[in-house]
Chains A and B, each alone.
Chain A
Amino acid sequence: MKKTLFDKIWEKHIVREVQDDLYVLYIDKHLIHEVTSPQAFASLEKRGLKVLRPQQILATADHNVPTTDQDLPIKDDLSAKQVALLTENCKKHGIELFGLGHPYQGIVHVIGPELGITQPGMTIVCGDSHTSTHGAFGTVAFGIGTSEVEMVLATQCLLQTKPRQMRIEVNGTLSSGVTAKDVILYIISQLGTGGATGHFVEYSGNTIRTLSMEGRMTVCNMSIEMGARGGLIAPDEITFNYLEGKPFAPKGHEWEKAKNKWSFLTTDDGAHFDKIYHFQAENIPPMVTYGTHPGMGIPVDVAVPFLNSTGQEASGEGLEKALNYMGLQSGQFMSGIPVQHVFIGSCTNARVEDFRLAASVVKGKKKHDRIRALIVPGSQQVAKQLSEEGLDKIFEEAGFVIRQPGCSACLAMNGDTIPSGEYCVSTSNRNFEGRQGNGARTILASPLTAALACITGEISDIRSYPFTHINN
């Protein structure tokens, strides 16, 4: 029988078939962080259970950590307690922790891949919905709740229903100024915020194939924003080149063996998908969101939809509520809207390539007076790369301060918030009401569009702004 890549990985990890479509699934790698793990450890201890496979777990502190003065004690008592609990739990159970001050600390979905912990063919879970990011390496990776974190701690397994499968194929050449972020914002705007619910998505097509690993991670990362259980991309030479030499990647003979094994991780021709979508790269423009969920995205040069328009995401009460919250009106053009804040960061767009893109735009320019920018590298390793490549100087000369790694203003748990009623162009993944602070108005965009807003002080179309790409 023809199988999808997802089928192949899933089947290899079945410990028991409980009943039709319900399986006990083995988890290769479990990533944990300070916000969704404390209750799991507490409950585990209450049951008198141990962590079954501590060596298959990796911990970091990212969601609730300050992005300044990380060497000093955390000022917020509750945040300090969460981080301290993580440290204590890891120590007690023998789990490796890349906590604050560690050279490998960073956003959980940035460090897994960059350290070579994320490897093709694996099952990976984390108490965070953006675990789908790791699918860029040809893994079955998905977010779980805290009860499930406890199950994996105790048994290295989960009871899961096998999702339906969707293929999203993108072919053609992306226009100048259009990035992986625009590709996924475009796809979500077409499918809707619940369009892939119950499905696991495989991205394919020559546009996806030519994306860098950073770009593929951006695409897979936002799979959850259309409701998908996860997203994945078959590994190829780009994947192998990225992983080779990474600290936790196999070495020498083991590397060759692994690469050979991974090269079989593909979908068979003619394998069944429940839904298939095709998109053409040439039709994808730079995208921005105008509403309060990621499906409410439009090309940067297009007007905000009308209440009576027939688009999937542009109708009825939801749109009216969203526009009221955003302080926008139907028919209004997004480009030209003055913004007060820019956030370049998050598990979606805080890798070195994202900062190269942003630096390409700000190089030799000065930050607009109005703009307060949060430039937050995804990890200590990314921060180190910024300085090695001199990108930090470019940002500093343009008037920016680079923060220390963490999730920061993506979910605004750590005090990096956007004030009520103000606009923030953000490279993160969610524009929900209050996501970046109570009353904050988030406009999702690519690192290019976000960087351009830093300079112009408003939403602008990157296609009419000349810049030279900074390459590695």
Chain B
Amino acid sequence: MNPINIIQSTFVPLPIENVDTDQIIPARFLKSSEKEGFGTHLFNDWRYLPDGTPNPDFVLNKSKYSGEILVAGKNFGCGSSREHAAWALAGQGFRAVVSSYFADIFQNNALNNGLLPVQVTQPFLQEIFAQKSESTLTINLYDCWIQIDKTGSRCQFPISSYKQECLLNGFSDIDYLISMESEIEAYEKNTRATA
């Protein structure tokens, strides 16, 4: 996993609430057995017209919006547990998603792929949406804040110190868990004994 520390970028606004993972990546694209290649289908059915051409009204097809940060309405990533949603966002080049809250499973999937979920207050979210397209945001994972660079307005975001350290260093949960092998075996032995 690539470490994250500071992200400074323009952002892509998606002021829609309850964006579910079926919108992020529709089920018919889950037939691949790889982790790569989902980026082109990110938001497929909003992004492309039925004939496959880009939908000019969708934000990813508007040349004035780009960047490594997606900013979306509340409850982003609800629905299916498909990690393909996080892979598709990362595949498109996003490194952080900002919303007023995230669905639990999506949040874990994002963290496990080095995609930073940044939870901000509802007023701060609206403040970001009010910015012009050339406006940049800075996300500082050392101190857990996000800033609208033009105004200097800041919002702290929550993250456990364990996850913060993982992301800053590019560590994965699996490395931590593997290091616990003997403790896991001891737990199993103890549980069997008391069953």
Contacts and interface: CB of A to CB of B under 8 A. Distances in A.
Interface of A: 12, 15-16, 18-19, 21-22, 24, 26, 35-36, 38-39, 42-43, 47, 49, 52, 63-64, 76, 78-79, 81-82, 85, 127-129, 142-148, 150-151, 154-159, 161, 163, 193-194, 197-198, 224-225, 227, 229, 293, 295, 316-318, 321, 411-413, 420, 430, 432-435, 438-439
B23 A147 contact: no
A159 B173 contact: yes
Interface residues of B, number: 52
Interface string B162-192: 1000000000111011101101100110010
A38 B176 CA distance: 22
Contacts of A229: 104
A64 B177 contact: no
B177 A154 contact: yes
Contacts of A227: 75, 78, 103-104
Given A157-B180, A159-B173, A146 B83 contact: yes
Nearest to A228: B104
Given A78-B32, A145-B109, A155 B23 contact: no
Contacts of B22: 411, 430, 432-435
Contacts of A438: 26, 28, 45, 50
Interface in B10-37: 15-18, 20, 22-23, 26-28, 30-35
Contacts of B93: none
Interface string B103-116: 11100110011000
Given A15-B180, A143-B105, A157-B177, A82 B33 contact: yes
A229 B183 CA distance: 26
Contacts of B154: none
A154 B178 contact: yes
A193 B78 CA distance: 8
A24 B75 CA distance: 26
Contact of B173 (A63, A151, A156): A151
Interface string B148-171: 000000000000111000000000
A35 B33 CA distance: 8
Contact of B103 (A128, A146, A197): A197
B97 to A, nearest CB: 15
A151 B74 contact: no
B109 A318 contact: no
A36 B33 contact: no
Contacts of A128: 80-81
B177 A318 contact: no
Interface in B82-103: 82-83, 86, 101-103
A148 B30 contact: no
Interface of B: 15-18, 20, 22-23, 26-28, 30-35, 45, 50, 74-75, 78-83, 86, 101-105, 108-109, 112-113, 160-162, 172-174, 176-178, 180-181, 183-184, 187-188, 191
B105 A144 contact: yes
Contacts of A151: 173-174, 177
A42 B178 contact: no
Contacts of A144: 81, 105, 108
Given A15-B184, A432-B20, 9 more contacts: A24-B180, A49-B178, A147-B173, A151-B174, A155-B178, A158-B173, A197-B75, A420-B50, A430-B80
B31 A413 contact: yes
21 contacts: A15-B183, A19-B162, A24-B183, A24-B184, A42-B33, A49-B178, A64-B30, A64-B31, A129-B81, A144-B108, A145-B83, A154-B177, A155-B181, A193-B18, A193-B78, A317-B15, A412-B28, A430-B20, A433-B23, A433-B45, A438-B28
Given A197-B75, A433-B45, A435-B22, A26 B81 contact: no
Given A39-B35, A147-B174, A26 B101 contact: no
Contact of A318 (B16, B108, B180): B16
Nearest to B181: A155
A293 B20 contact: yes
B160 A161 contact: yes
A194 B18 contact: yes
A113 B188 CA distance: 24
A15 B187 contact: yes
